[in-house]
Structure 1
Amino acid sequence: MSAKGSDRFEYLQTLVTEFQDTDSDEAKEQVLANLANFSYDPKNYDHLRDLQVIDLFLDMLTEENESFVEFGMGGLCNLSMAPELRDFILQNDGINLVINCLSSRNEETVLSAITTLMNLVTANSRSEVTQPGVLHCMLRFSLSESPRLRNLASVFLQDCCSREQVAQAEQQMQRQQQTALGIPLPKE
């Protein structure tokens, strides 16, 4: 490891230690934001993996603090582009954790979750990433007033799903709208 690489590792290690040692939510948010920013750079991937930052980001997805979830999701989104890190996320129940973030009230968290799901699509994971509940969610997002959310959901539906999957999900949603509490509504 070069001196520069060693300095980078030590700095990241200091951040992880600070996160673990502090009781201040504000300090933890700042550290998570910094770690998420460092996860943009592929030069940091090995260090972040060695320091178990991916596990930390995954753990943040179940926190009640919305900022923790946002920064954890943002960090995972950045890391999920690297095939070896994507595989680690997939092996550690990442899909379900990310899917749960689709219901966040924080738009940044939702945008990162959608992007992460797109990054997590492989031949083996496609059916789990494009399960009916996710498709219904993406169809709703594709009608959002937010252009960013609407466009990203549309890209997900085009790039990750077959036309048949989308058509089937649309039909299911229409059937659900035609019934109230399981009671068929009168035909017009």
Structure 2
Amino acid sequence: ELATRELGKAYNAVFLDLLPATALTESCWRQFKREDGKITYLVSSAEAVGMMQVNLRVWRGLYDAERLKWEVAYNARAGAQILLHYLEGPGLDVVRQTGNPEYLAWASYAVYNAGPVAAKRFLRKRGELKPGQTDRKLLAHYQGFVDGGIADLEHCVVSQPAEATPAL
């Protein structure tokens, strides 16, 4: 997705850490679950599906609903496209209006998770931001990836890589 965009290295780096953090926050990188002895796709109460929790109502007509439910790669790519769209639009708007590039990941995810109106909370509060539980979770995941961490899918967190064992 980044190959077709001209965001610049700094924003590319934000996206490359934000994407896995978003998948971890949304679904713990899971597309499917076992329910009543059968395998089915993840679905939220808001009708968001799969690993990237793409909302079927919001994105109907742009993405194939059945493929979003059952194809991991299709769901991941759709989520990446949507996240990048929000990073380039509302995310960068928040950065421009606040003058704080550190808000890019948070603002982009807030819009991904709660819709375009979520970006307005950044502008209304003028720096007095109070992250909610999902925001704190995303920010911890994001910072973990920025710091070189790896996804711990058993616990749905980002762990720092083990220190290298000295040679004997």
Task: Report the TM-score range of the alignment, normalised by the length of the smaller protein.
Answer: under 0.3
* Structure with bigger gyration radius: 1
Of the two structures, which has the highest relative contact order with CA contacts closer than 8 Å and spacing of 6 or more? Answer: 2
Q: Which of the two has greater strand per residue?
A: 2
Q: Which of the two has greater helix per residue?
A: 1
